Each structure stands twice: as structure tokens, then as C-alpha cells.
């Protein structure tokens, strides 16, 4: 263990992260993320490359309006171009104009890149590094020198790779950061090279790893073990090609497994929220299976696993999910045992005899397995599962029942398809009969269902169908195939999933729609009851 030694976290989501395919952040998005990272206690936030585009320069202008409490904003850029003076380099002048106090400058450490990419001499490259670092230090900036392609250069020509670091150090660099730019190095290679650099230089050493070999996190941890005290990476591992070192994995590994200090424990417990916040602003679906912060990171499905978890969570969890702000989830499927059902009974707060010999519990388990055999899937439809459990154990009854349903579709050449749903429902002792149109049969069905119920349950207006998925389960049966419909519904506070299965897509959609409305009403009712118990109005 590292006995509390501090590792500085350097976030480059706003620069390197946005180089990932499909990622684009507005200036406003970048400011929001920077403020959240500062609140989390990150040490450095790389805002962008002011010499490359107007958006990044605008970010540096906007962020000056905020007083950051923990982080230093860094501007990124390259060494001066070959053959010109530093004072004439537009990239360096843009860094100075950005108003930052920290500049991160990258230079070539691999002789192959010097001669083939820059097309200059090895001596000129050393001068470019030295001149640039010295110039920015003269201007009063903290300078972090990013040794681009360091590990590739060190493997091919170690003497020259180390000379590039010597040039930066002699010119006054505050930190030298070793970059695995192509992401192809192996952990022991990173360890050995980093250890040698730490032995030769007294300056703080950092690591900047890419993930092309799926080793960016491992390489970052090995560099720290070898003596690095700064880790550069991005939230969720966003970045060019296969991405950068994922700080959502690096930080908890450093803190919880290796004993280093990065953030406070309180802030570490907000890591899952941070991961999802950045995903939302980047307009990307969160990676469900992402370690530590993914929705499935602490999800348990096998009956043997859940049985052990009930005895002690450490049997199948490497950390307490709460340490990173995540939660334990027990899934129910054809792989479930009685332990899964018992766990869910306790989780839902149902008043049930949870003895392993309880006949009703076994009956519900068999029903679930049979439904899964028919094509139902409750892993992504926990609202449907909860309703099933409440019907079995709690005497739950749906708030409405279907009397009749008719879908009318009319197709005319030149005028497209017209869809209408006519529905008859019983709500208590009343019957309501109505119709609604839609841009397709399912949309018409959804509109008619809501129209019929809104006078009885006004809270339905706040429930929005946020996702609708259809999967063909046995495609070899052609148009007679079984389909599974998964619906996600949101009320601006929570999101829940429901499922329906049938050979008729309308029937499957109806099942999922009914559960989505019924669960939303049940949730709202529980909120009202809780508010009443606490003596406040909902």
C-alpha cells in the first residue's frame, strides 16, 4: 500500500476526450463539465488547444468568469514549429492569449517521428523542446511537458528519448509526462521505462496512456507503481481511436486498491454520478458494463452468487458499490434461484414469509422461469418484474382493465398511412370509451391509452415514453415470429423499464405500455403515502 501518497489527477476529457469518434461538446457543455470536475476535486483540467480552433479559445474566455476551488485549467499545444522563433509561433501565442497559468506542451520523443513526421533533425527537435519550455516559463506559466510517443521512442532509441526529457527539464519544465500515444505498450514495458525516468530525474513524472491494447488503465497503474505522481486520462475513457485511460477506473483502483490519495472519500462516492453526467452531456449511452460505475458493475444474476451475497456481499463483490456511488442490483432470470426472489422480496419491502420452503416463493420462481422461456426478459424490465411480484405476494391489482381494443390502419397511395386506436377501458366501476390517432399503430395505441386515463390519473401527463425497442426472438419463423418489446418510461425524476412478448407486435406493445403506466401510478402512490407519513404534502 502507498500509505496515502497523493497522485495528481489530470483530466483531458475536454480536449483528448472530444477527439473520440461521435463526441462533440459545446462551449457550454465544456464549462459545465469543468465545473463538475473542479467540484469533484480534480487537480488539472485540460480545456483544449487554443491554437487549433475558436471553440477552445472561447472556452478559456468563458471559464475565466468562474472561480475554481481545486483545479488548475491547462491549455494544450505543441512545441514551436521547426525553423522559427518561439515569439513567432501562433500556437504558443494563442496559449498566452488564453490566460491560463498552466501550459501542457507536447514534443517528439521518438526519433522516427522527428525525421518522418516533423521532417527535421534530431538536434532541431531538442532545440524546439528547450526553446518552447523556456519561453513559457519566462512568461510565468507552469509547464507540463508531454513526451509524445515516449515509450515507442524509448524502446527503439532510449538514449534519444531520454535526451528529449533532459531538454525539457533543463529548460525548466515543472512536470514531465510520459505518453503511450499509440497505446500499444505493455504494462511491464511502461513500468521499466517509467522507473528509469523517475530514477534519472527529480521532477514529478506523469503518465498519459491510450487504450489501443486495452491496457491504458493497467499501464497507468504500473506507471504510478514505478514512481509517477500524475495520471492523465478522461472520464469514461473517451478519446481518439480506442480511447484514453479511463479515470473512472484509474481513480478507484488507486484509492481503494493501492492506497493512494486522489480525491476525498466523499467525492469518490460521486464518481458514478460524474460518469453519467459526462455521458449525458456528450449525448452518449452510458456503457452498462463499465467497471466501477456501470449499471451492471454490481449486478448479480446467478442463483449461487445471490445466495452467497445474502450471507456476505464480499463473496462476489470486489468493493462496496457505495464507495464509488454505485448500487448493488440483483437480476431475475431463468438462471435465478430462490435467493434472487428472496432478495427482491426484501428489496421491495414486501410482507412475505421468506422461508426457503415457502411454496408461493417457489411458485413465483417457476413462473418467472417459464416466462423467460417464452421470451420475457426482466433484466431490463424491473418495473414489470415488480408488478409481477406484487401481484403474487401483495394482492396488487392493476388500476384499469381492458374491455376492448381496435387498431385501424388505412393506407392510400399518395397520402401515406393513417393509424387510429379505439379503446374501451374499465376504471373502477366506470367504463371509458375513446379513440386517438398516431404516427403509427403503437403511437396511436399509446395516445388512446393516455387519453382514456388522464381524467382519472392526471399524473400520467408527466410520464414520457423515452425508449421503445423491438427484438425478433425467432426470426426463422418469418412474419409469424415471436417479438419482445421493451419500453423505457421517465417522469423527469426516475426511469423504469417494462416488457411485453407476443407473436403480435401490437399485443406485446400493449403489455409493455400497460405495465409502464401501472408502475408509474404505483410509484406515485407510494410517494404520496410516504409524504403523508412524514407529515408533508406531495
In this structure, the answer to whether residues 307 and 275 fall within a common structural domain is no
In this structure, the answer to whether residues 214 and 337 fall within a common structural domain is no
pLDDT higher for 200 or 288?
Answer: 200
- Is residue 148 situated within a structural domain? yes
- What is the C-alpha to C-alpha distance for residues 77 and 75, in angstroms, rounded to an integer? 7
- Residue 200, classed as helix, strand or coil, is helix
Highest mean pLDDT among 57-71, 389-403, 482-496: 57-71
The model's pLDDT over 65-121, given as tens digits with 9 standing for 90+, comes to 999 999 999 999 999 999 999 999 999 999 999 999 999 999 999 999 999 989 999
- What is the C-alpha to C-alpha distance for residues 28 and 414, in angstroms, rounded to an integer? 44
In this structure, the answer to whether residues 272 and 325 fall within a common structural domain is no
Average pLDDT value over all residues in the chain: 89
In this structure, the answer to whether residues 68 and 132 fall within a common structural domain is yes
- Is residue 182 situated within a structural domain? yes
Q: Count of domains in the chain?
A: 2
Contact (CB, 8 A) for 244 and 17: yes
For the chain, percent of residues with pLDDT exceeding 90: 64
- What is the C-alpha to C-alpha distance for residues 535 and 532, in angstroms, rounded to an integer? 5
In this structure, the answer to whether residues 333 and 225 fall within a common structural domain is no
Nine cell digits for residue 42? 480534480
In this structure, the answer to whether residues 276 and 315 fall within a common structural domain is no
Instruction: State yes or no: pLDDT of 31 exceeds 60.
Output: yes
Instruction: State yes or no: pLDDT of 335 exceeds 80.
Output: no
Q: Of 253, 281, 309, which marks where a domain is finished?
A: 281
- Residue 411, classed as helix, strand or coil, is strand
- What is the C-alpha to C-alpha distance for residues 382 and 370, in angstroms, rounded to an integer? 17
The model's pLDDT over 223-232, given as tens digits with 9 standing for 90+, comes to 999 999 999 9
- Is residue 514 situated within a structural domain? no
- Is residue 381 situated within a structural domain? no
The model's pLDDT over 7-29, given as tens digits with 9 standing for 90+, comes to 999 999 999 999 999 999 999 99
Between CA 86 and CA 93, with CA 88 as vertex, the angle to 5 degrees is: 80
Confidence of residue 391 (pLDDT cuts 50, 70, 90): confident
In this structure, the answer to whether residues 212 and 346 fall within a common structural domain is no
In this structure, the answer to whether residues 85 and 190 fall within a common structural domain is yes
Q: Of 333, 350, 374, which marks where a domain is finished?
A: 374
Confidence of residue 327 (pLDDT cuts 50, 70, 90): confident
Confidence of residue 332 (pLDDT cuts 50, 70, 90): low
- Is residue 472 situated within a structural domain? no
- What is the C-alpha to C-alpha distance for residues 229 and 203, in angstroms, rounded to an integer? 10
- What is the C-alpha to C-alpha distance for residues 30 and 44, in angstroms, rounded to an integer? 14
Q: Of 225, 254, 281, which marks where a domain is finished?
A: 281
Q: Residues with Cβ < 8 Å from 257, sequence gap 6 or more?
A: none
- Is residue 210 situated within a structural domain? yes
Contact (CB, 8 A) for 447 and 437: yes
In this structure, the answer to whether residues 231 and 358 fall within a common structural domain is no
* Residue ranges in 282-381 assigned as alpha helix (H): 303-311, 338-348, 359-374
Nine cell digits for residue 375? 421470451
Confidence of residue 336 (pLDDT cuts 50, 70, 90): low
In this structure, the answer to whether residues 277 and 193 fall within a common structural domain is yes
pLDDT value, residue 299: 78
What DSSP state is assigned to residue 244? Answer: B
Residue range 247-259: average pLDDT? 98
Least Cα distance to 233 among 79, 99, 42, 95 occurs for: 42
- CATH of residue 168: 3.20.20.70
- Is residue 224 situated within a structural domain? yes
Instruction: State yes or no: pLDDT of 351 exceeds 80.
Output: no
Strands of 416-427's sheet in order across: 401-412, 416-427, 430-438
Entry pTM: 0.73
In this structure, the answer to whether residues 174 and 205 fall within a common structural domain is yes
- Residue 463, classed as helix, strand or coil, is coil
- Is residue 136 situated within a structural domain? yes
In this structure, the answer to whether residues 242 and 368 fall within a common structural domain is no
What domain range is 353 assigned to? 299-374
Amino acid at each position: 500500500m502507498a500509505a496515502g501518497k497523493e497522485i495528481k489527477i489530470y483530466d483531458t476529457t475536454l480536449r483528448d476526450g472530444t477527439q473520440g469518434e461521435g463526441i462533440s461538446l459545446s462551449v457550454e457543455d465544456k464549462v459545465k463539465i469543468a465545473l463538475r470536475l473542479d467540484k469533484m476535486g480534480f487537480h488539472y483540467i485540460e480545456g483544449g488547444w487554443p491554437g487549433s480552433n475558436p471553440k477552445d479559445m472561447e472556452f478559456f474566455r468563458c471559464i475565466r468568469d468562474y472561480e475554481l476551488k481545486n483545479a488548475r485549467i491547462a491549455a494544450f499545444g505543441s512545441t514551436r514549429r521547426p525553423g522559427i522563433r518561439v515569439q513567432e509561433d501562433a500556437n504558443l501565442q494563442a496559449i498566452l492569449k488564453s490566460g491560463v497559468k498552466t501550459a501542457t506542451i507536447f514534443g517528439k520523443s521518438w526519433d522516427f517521428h522527428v525525421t518522418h513526421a516533423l521532417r527535421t533533425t534530431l538536434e532541431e527537435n531538442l532545440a524546439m523542446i528547450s526553446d518552447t519550455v523556456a519561453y513559457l516559463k519566462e512568461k510565468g506559466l507552469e509547464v507540463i511537458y508531454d513526451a509524445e510517443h515516449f515509450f515507442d521512442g524509448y524502446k527503439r532509441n532510449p538514449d534519444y528519448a531520454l535526451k528529449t526529457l533532459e531538454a525539457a527539464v533543463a529548460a525548466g519544465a515543472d512536470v514531465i509526462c510520459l505518453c503511450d500515444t499509440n497505446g500499444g505498450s505493455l504494462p511491464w514495458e511502461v513500468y521499466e521505462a517509467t522507473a528509469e525516468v523517475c530514477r534519472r530525474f527529480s521532477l514529478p513524472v506523469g503518465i498519459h496512456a491510450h487504450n489501443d491494447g486495452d491496457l491504458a488503465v493497467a499501464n497507468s497503474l504500473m506507471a504510478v507503481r514505478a514512481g509517477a505522481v500524475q495520471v492523465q486520462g478522461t472520464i469514461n475513457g473517451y478519446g481518439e481511436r480506442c480511447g484514453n485511460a479511463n479515470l473512472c477506473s484509474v481513480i478507484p483502483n488507486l484509492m481503494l486498491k493501492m492506497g493512494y490519495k486522489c480525491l476525498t472519500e466523499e467525492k469518490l462516492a460521486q464518481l458514478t454520478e460524474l460518469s453519467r453526467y459526462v455521458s449525458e452531456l456528450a449525448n452518449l449511452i452510458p456503457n452498462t458494463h463499465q467497471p466501477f460505475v456501470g449499471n451492471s458493475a454490481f449486478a448479480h444474476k446467478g442463483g449461487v452468487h445471490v445466495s452467497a451475497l445474502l450471507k456476505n456481499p464480499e463473496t462476489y463483490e470486489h468493493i462496496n458499490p457505495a464507495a464509488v456511488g454505485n448500487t448493488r442490483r440483483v437480476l431475475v432470470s431463468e438462471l435465478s434461484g430462490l435467493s434472487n426472489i428472496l432478495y427482491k422480496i426484501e428489496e421491495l419491502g414486501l410482507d412475505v414469509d421468506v422461508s426457503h420452503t415457502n411454496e408461493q416463493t417457489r411458485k413465483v420462481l417457476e413462473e418467472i422461469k417459464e416466462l423467460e422461456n417464452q421470451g420475457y426478459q426482466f433484466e431490463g424490465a424491473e418495473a414489470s418484474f415488480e408488478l409481477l411480484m406484487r401481484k403474487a405476494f401483495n394482492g396488487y391489482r392493476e388500476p384499469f382493465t381492458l374491455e376492448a381494443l381496435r387498431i385501424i390502419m388505412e393506407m392510400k397511395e399518395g397520402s401515406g398511412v393513417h393509424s387510429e386506436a379505439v379503446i374501451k377501458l374499465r376504471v373502477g366501476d366506470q367504463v371509458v370509451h375513446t379513440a386517438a390517432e398516431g404516427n403509427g399503430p403503437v403511437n396511436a395505441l399509446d395516445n388512446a391509452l393516455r387519453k382514456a386515463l388522464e381524467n382519472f390519473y392526471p399524473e400520467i401527463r408527466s410520464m414520457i415514453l423515452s425508449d421503445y425497442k423491438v427484438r425478433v426472438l425467432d426470426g426463422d419463423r418469418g412474419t409469424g415470429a415471436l417479438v419482445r418489446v421493451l419500453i423505457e418510461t421517465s417522469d423527469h425524476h426516475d426511469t423504469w423499464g417494462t416488457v411485453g412478448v407476443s407473436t403480435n407486435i401490437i399485443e406485446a406493445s400493449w403489455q409493455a405500455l400497460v405495465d409502464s403506466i401501472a408502475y408509474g401510478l404505483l410509484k406515485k402512490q407510494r410517494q404520496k403515502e410516504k409524504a403523508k407519513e412524514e407529515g408533508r404534502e406531495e
